[in-house]
Amino acid sequence: MKPLLSSSLSARFLLTTITVLVACSNAIANPPGIGGSLDEVVKLAIKEGKVRFGSSPNTDEAKLVLEAFEKTYPKIKVEYTANLEGGVSERVLTEAIAGQVEYDLVNVPSAVQPNYKKANMLAGPFAWRSIFPKVPNEHFSGDNYLAVVSFVPRVIAYNTALVPSQQVPKSWQDCLDPYWKGKFLVRTRPHAFVSIWPAWGEEKTLQYVKRLKDNQPIWGSATYDESVIQVAGGEVPMMCGTNYTSVFNLLRRDPQAKIAAVFPTETPIGMGETIGILKGAKNPNAAFLLAGWLASLEGQKGYEKNGRDSPFLEGTEMRKRLQKAGVKIVFGGWQDEEFAQERTKKITSAWGLR
């Protein structure tokens, strides 16, 4: 009779087996019809000749990003549709279910992701990580269906002509300073405070937003872009919780605007464009190539032009800015997206706005 394996050898054998099985489970292959290597994807994408892409940035902002792709791949035309988010994304899904697939690559905001997945209308899973190995894991969903190609740091904005240097907020706690009582803006859609939740937890977050309410903010329902114009125009001296992108683009258009953004000591990072390839897409290789390219350093250099580049990718301006500021990055990631709506409701309830 052969001797049994020793317990230590058995343990090592079991660990090795588990490691191999996990590795195999992570070895995702692209769906049929999609190239198995970058070279194959490029050849097939060029053969397709175009990609129909619908996403949230306006046409001018998208042009800053997409023009570099078209220079890199001049034989692939990008047909871009702007301002595709929220309810429009729902309409795209409804049409796709009915067999009318208008886009190849489409913005899938977190609020509608469950609907897309339930309807089984996203192509995939895809071999993002093997075909684009230099792109950080944060850019791709755990199930390998979606890619995030732009990011939104949540910041504090202030009017540089109205706020004395010693009163410039450096942290979220500074918004609770009695100095600001009744004279700072808070948007009723609390993205910044939903984004800080992963670091603080429910109890601390809800305690904070209640104290913020007690400091009597001016509640605003305007968009972030409209709100930072109010700050720059002196209508309100400070805004606690806005998108860095809105401040960045206002200064890009008007370098003399009297506004600045502060990365708080804990800077939450939101996911901007979360894109997926629709089932039935006519140009799936071109869509896959564009999505992966946008997530790469080459694509992120375009997003630098509108302040949406990744803080997770070495070499981007956003990463350099946050490192220079010495702040702690807070990123809930893909696993927290499903809780965003629930957390939003709890925060707005604490404010008495629901």
What CATH number is given for 33-150+272-312 in this structure?
Answer: 3.40.190.10
Closest to 72 measured CA to CA, from 293, 317, 303: 293
Q: How confident is the model at residue 74 (pLDDT cuts 50, 70, 90)?
A: very high
Contacts of 282 (CB under 8 A, 6+ apart): 48, 52, 101, 104
For residue 343 the two structure tokens come to 């957390």
What sections of the chain are H helices per DSSP?
A: 7-26, 38-48, 59-72, 87-97, 113-119, 128-131, 191-214, 224-232, 244-253, 284-295, 297-303, 317-325, 334-337, 340-350
- Average pLDDT taken over every residue of the chain: 91
Across the range 91-117, mean pLDDT stands at: 91
| pLDDT tens-digit map of 126-180 | 999 999 999 999 999 999 999 999 999 999 999 999 999 999 999 999 999 999 9
The angle formed by the CA atoms of residues 72, 77 and 81, to the nearest 5 degrees, is 115
Burial of 142 (0-12, 13-18, 19+ CB in 10 A): exposed
Residue 335 pLDDT: 82
Contacts of 7 (CB under 8 A, 6+ apart): none
Do the domains spanning 33-150+272-312 and 152-270+321-350 agree at the CATH topology level?
A: yes
User: Using only C-alpha atoms, what is the Rg of the chain?
Assistant: 23
Q: What are phi and psi of 273, to 5 degrees?
A: -80, 115
* Lowest model confidence (mean pLDDT) among 15-29, 80-94, 166-180, 309-323: 15-29
Q: How confident is the model at residue 86 (pLDDT cuts 50, 70, 90)?
A: low
Closest to 259 measured CA to CA, from 282, 284, 236: 236
- Residue 112 above 90 pLDDT? no
Residue with tokens 């796709």: 96
Across the range 223-244, mean pLDDT stands at: 97
For residue 306 the two structure tokens come to 């509108």
Share of the chain above pLDDT 90, in %: 81
Rounded Cα distance, 82 and 161, in Å: 34
Residue 25 pLDDT: 40
**Strand, helix or coil for residue 221:** coil
Across the range 87-107, mean pLDDT stands at: 90
For residue 134 the two structure tokens come to 């230099």
Helix, strand, coil percentages, rounded to 5, for the chain: 50, 15, 35
- Residue 292 above 60 pLDDT? yes
How many other C-beta atoms are found inside a 10 Å radius of the C-beta of residue 336? Answer: 16
Domain ranges (residues) in the chain: 33-150+272-312, 152-270+321-350
The angle formed by the CA atoms of residues 94, 99 and 100, to the nearest 5 degrees, is 75
Residue 89 pLDDT: 84
Contacts of 55 (CB under 8 A, 6+ apart): 62, 80, 81, 82, 84, 85, 105, 106, 107, 273, 275
The angle formed by the CA atoms of residues 210, 214 and 215, to the nearest 5 degrees, is 120
* The architecture CATH gives domain 152-270+321-350: 3-Layer(aba) Sandwich (3.40)
